[in-house]
Amino acid sequence: MALRKLLTLSRRPPLLSGRFASTYAVAALANPAADAPSLAKPPVMLYDRLAEAVRSKIKRLDDPDPRFLRYASPHPTLADHTPILAAPETRVITLPSGLRIATESTLASRTATIGVWIDAGSRFETDETNGTAHFLEHMIFKGTESRTVRQLEEEIENMGGHLNAYTSREQTTYYAKVLDKDVPKALEILADILQNSCFDEKRIERERDVILREMEEVEGQTEEVIFDHLHATAFQYTPLGRTILGPAQNIKTITKEHLKNYISTHYTSPRMVISAAGAVKHEDIVDQVKKLFTNLSNDPMTASQLVAKEPAIFTGSEVRIIDDDIPLAQFAVAFSGASWTDPDSIALMVMQSMLGSWNKNTGSGKHMGSELSQRIAINEIAESMMAFNTNYKDTGLFGVYAIAKVSQFSVMYLKYVKY
């Protein structure tokens, strides 16, 4: 009996006085169940309340509202984001003639770019015809059987479009940038100039002078000259060592027959890719190409077969041109790189970004860019530097181009090699 009384007294709440007593009384009246015999709860500390709040948040994260689990889980998991990164999808189709069509549709756009990419450049020329690909690029805009030069220019200008071209060692490209409603017209113009160009003798003579003046301008650009010499010494006695413009003597002797023969030999369906991006529909582009590009040569010879016949062989060598009138030394050092399809080409692209570039005249400061750029800038070793990575079908060039004072030339070279 005495033991039962002691247990009952221990279960009763402690006697409180003043403000705390009234507060407890109100709580007791509001909750009659509190009078039931039960163990008294210990006082809750502030830290315990915070801990309880954190535990409740964690619980909500572990067991979230099912509405948020409709499409995903709150827990991190490995996922393949390739479809997202590859958007918009590139659709490629090959026609029976060998002509390839590639499109990327972004229908929310109001503009589009259409281009014709041809495996034809200075690499596929001979010593006698070197420069023909670039000469042809100039002449292709000088009128067709149905359009004069003026009509061609007015059509492009009236559309508010842009028509251009360029030639490299392995490719020649013609492209147009237009509004979405003018895509069919731009494609028709590209088909016309590539299949029906008229090479007027007077136009050829006039363009010959233009190219010779262009050659003089290029020879005044030291960077262009350096890279031409780099290719000439790295790929000695191979087609890849030729320049894009060709020698002046060839430019003076190129004729209408040379141009027509080059088109029939190299502007063939298996060596062309027609690409379109922006406000285009794949099916529409394919239908238009089938109707417009009908006069192309179907010669089955591909650029890869031509490259296999005359592969580019890298030769470790050097060439030096001394000109005491130039206050700065300019140099390019390169190693044998990777082809477009070589898996190492991606690694070399990353390395190029890591090496970076820097120019004293840009005003970007000495602490921007890669580690190599910062060292060169802080120690004032060079005026500028640039890493480059050039890919070709069977080889490539990877290296750095820099401009430095003569006194710092050797330091710059050793810094790059050590890095």
CATH at residue 358: 3.30.830.10
Give the pTM: 0.75
- Both 298 and 335 in one domain: the answer is no
Q: Can you read off the two tokens belonging to residue 401? A: 């181009």
Asked whether residue 119 is assigned to any structural domain, the reply reads: yes
Nearest of 194, 178, 176 to residue 271 by alpha carbon = 194
Please write the tens of the pLDDT for every residue from 333-342.
999 999 999 9
C-beta pairs of 211-217 under 8 Å, 24+ apart in sequence: 211/131, 211/134, 211/135, 211/138, 211/245, 211/251, 212/248, 212/251, 212/252, 214/245, 215/245, 215/248, 215/251
- Both 295 and 163 in one domain: the answer is yes
Task: Find the radius of gyration of the CA atoms of the chain.
Answer: 37
The length of the chain in residues reads 419
Residues 362, 364, 370: CA angle, nearest 5 degrees: 110
Q: Which of 257, 279, 309 is the last residue of a domain?
A: 309
Contact indicator for 150, 163 with CB cutoff of 8 Å: no
Low-confidence ranges of the chain (pLDDT < 70): 1-44, 47, 60-77, 86, 408-419
pLDDT of residue 24: 38
Asked whether residue 229 is assigned to any structural domain, the reply reads: yes
- Show which residues are catalytic: 137, 207
- How many domains are there within the chain? 2
| Torsions phi, psi for 311 (to 5 deg) | -70, 155
Question: What counts of helices (H) and strands (E) characterise the chain?
Answer: 16, 10
Contact indicator for 370, 270 with CB cutoff of 8 Å: no
- Both 121 and 243 in one domain: the answer is yes
Please write the tens of the pLDDT for every residue from 362-397.
777 777 778 888 888 888 888 888 999 999 999 999
pLDDT of residue 34: 44
Q: Which of 274, 309, 344 is the last residue of a domain?
A: 309
Q: Can you read off the two tokens belonging to residue 127? A: 């010593």
Q: d(Cα 99, Cα 132) in Å, to the nearest integer?
A: 23
- Looking from the CA of 101 toward its CB, the CA atoms found within 13 Å total 19
Q: d(Cα 184, Cα 99) in Å, to the nearest integer?
A: 18
Which residues is 275 bridged to in the sheet?
102, 115
pLDDT of residue 75: 63
- Both 273 and 170 in one domain: the answer is yes
- Both 290 and 177 in one domain: the answer is yes
- 201-219 helix and 256-266 helix, angle to the nearest 10 degrees: 80
Nearest of 70, 73, 43, 51 to residue 61 by alpha carbon = 73
Q: d(Cα 179, Cα 112) in Å, to the nearest integer?
A: 6
- Both 142 and 209 in one domain: the answer is yes
Q: Can you read off the two tokens belonging to residue 198? A: 């008229």
The domain containing residue 342 runs over which residues? 328-418
Q: d(Cα 330, Cα 405) in Å, to the nearest integer?
A: 9
pLDDT of residue 73: 60
